[in-house]
């Protein structure tokens, strides 16, 4: 499950801190530049509330979130509406993984 529920935080700084934390993982832990995700299509199976995938969306990825928990997927939609550059670039699928 997501560790950080950025849809509940309104101050903006907490979200920036979260994005920086995820960015550091990709940059220094995985050795991927953040601009690598610009224009890429990414799918997250078992996306939960989207708190981790939203970082890739802010870096230009077009995301597909697949989540079987309808409540978690609704939170993900709220997160993407609030923080993604263009909400319509993303797809949300309420399904079990074996049904996709």
Question: What's the pTM value of the predicted model, to 2 decimals?
Answer: 0.84
pLDDT band for position 7 (cuts 50, 70, 90): low
For 31, residues 6+ apart whose C-beta sits below 8 A from its C-beta are: none
The residue ranking higher by pLDDT, 88 or 3, is: 88
> Distances from the Cα of 99 to the Cαs of 9, 24, 45, 73, in angstroms?
33, 34, 11, 16
pLDDT tens digits, 24-77: 999 999 999 989 999 999 999 999 999 889 999 999 999 999 999 999 999 999
């Amino acid at each position: 499950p997501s560790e950080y529920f950025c849809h509940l935080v309104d101050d903006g700084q907490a979200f920036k801190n979260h994005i920086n934390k995820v960015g550091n993982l990709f940059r220094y832990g995985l050795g991927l530049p953040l601009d690598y995700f610009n224009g890429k299509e990414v799918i997250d199976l078992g996306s939960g509330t989207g708190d981790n995938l939203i970082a890739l969306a802010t870096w230009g990825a077009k995301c597909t979130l697949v989540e079987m928990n309808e409540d978690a997927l609704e939170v993900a939609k709220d997160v993407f509406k609030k923080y993604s550059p263009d909400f319509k670039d993303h797809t949300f699928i309420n399904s079990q993984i074996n049904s996709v």
